[in-house]
Amino acid sequence: MGLAARFLEEAGFSTLVLTPNPEWHRAVGIPRSAAIEYPYGRPVGQVVDREGQRAVLLAALSVLVKAQKPGEVWHLPFTWPEEPRETDWQPPEMSPLIKIYLDEIKQARKREARKL
């Protein structure tokens, strides 16, 4: 999504990415980000929570006004009401990519565990 934002910004649009994973900015260089600690697939909020969705969007839109320089990441102060394991954001079946990289994923976890 960061590359799409860069493309659109280059084409003359002011862009804002509302992202649950702001760390990608360091890899891609995203013009403006509003970071939100919400599960993947629901960055605006919970199903039929009109007021909650409005609050998130108003905060995100304010970042469009506040960001003054390329690459700013504003962290939004919202908290998802469920613990991560209760959010059920993952696909019902393991994605084809994860299946083929499963060994690499396990190794990455072991390497991190060794560093700790």
Residues 19-78 that bind another protein (CB under 8 A): 19-31, 35-37, 39-48, 50, 53-54, 57-58, 60-61, 64-66, 69-77
* Residue closer to another protein, measured from CB, 8 or 81: 8
CA dihedral sign of residues 33, 34, 40, 43: negative
Site residues for another protein, 3-22, by CB under 8 A, read 3-22
Q: How many of the chain's residues bind another protein (CB under 8 A)?
A: 85
Q: If we measure between CA atoms, which residue out of 83, 66, 87, 85 comes closest to residue 75?
A: 66
Q: Which two tokens stand for residue 31?
A: 């013009």
Least distance in angstroms from the C-beta of 59 to another protein: 10
Give the count of beta carbons closer than 10 Å to the beta carbon of residue 35: 20
Least distance in angstroms from the C-beta of 116 to another protein: 11
CB 60 within 8 A of CB 34: yes
81 near another protein, rule: CB under 8 A: no
